[in-house]
Amino acid sequence: MARRSHGGDYPENWEEIAKQVKDEANWRCIRCNHPHDIESGHVLTVHHLDMNPGNCAWWNVVALCQRCHLHIQHKVIMHRTWAFEHAVWFKPYVAGFYAHYNRLPEDREYVEAHKDLLIMLGQGKITKVDYITLEL
């Protein structure tokens, strides 16, 4: 599970999607919480965590200032098994990825409600059978 996807094209409505992602983040970077500010170099961008511009699932597109975007761009690999605790800002997104990867519901409400279990599943700390049992 250590591969990055670079395939796909931006959808025709990318500008609308990017604006929606920024609006949902209140035009602040979700990693450092800095507001969009061109003069300080905190230009708000939208990053595809799996590097696939065609994948615009909510858990894959995040509002990041240019500084944070450049900092994480080649460090975050969604298919990687993570050895360390996830950062708070990253947990809902990686939990959404794990839900997707394991063919579980991936809507935001479900993922938020099961975030800790999904992360344990994605990190190999529990099996899918354990997950389903614990979810109930």
Structure tokens at 111: 């993922």
Query: pTM above the 0.85 mark?
Result: yes
Closest residue by Cα to residue 67 from 21, 36, 107, 104 = 36
Report the length, in residues, of the chain: 136
Residue ranges covered by each domain of the chain = 14-72, 91-135
Residue 108 φ then ψ, to 5°:
-60, -40
User: In this predicted structure, what is the pLDDT of residue 3?
Assistant: 41
For residue 83, what pLDDT band results from cuts at 50, 70 and 90?
confident
Closest residue by Cα to residue 101 from 84, 83, 85, 124 = 124
The whole-number average pLDDT for the span 121-134 is 90
Residue 94 φ then ψ, to 5°:
-70, -35
pLDDT tens figures, 15-49: 999 999 999 999 999 999 999 999 998 999 999 99
Q: How far is CA 81 from CA 6, 52, 97, 100, 116, in A?
A: 19, 19, 12, 15, 15
CA quadruple 117, 118, 119, 121: dihedral, nearest 10 = 90
Residue in the block written with tokens 């970077």: 29
User: In this predicted structure, what is the pLDDT of residue 80?
Assistant: 81
Closest residue by Cα to residue 14 from 6, 25, 22 = 22
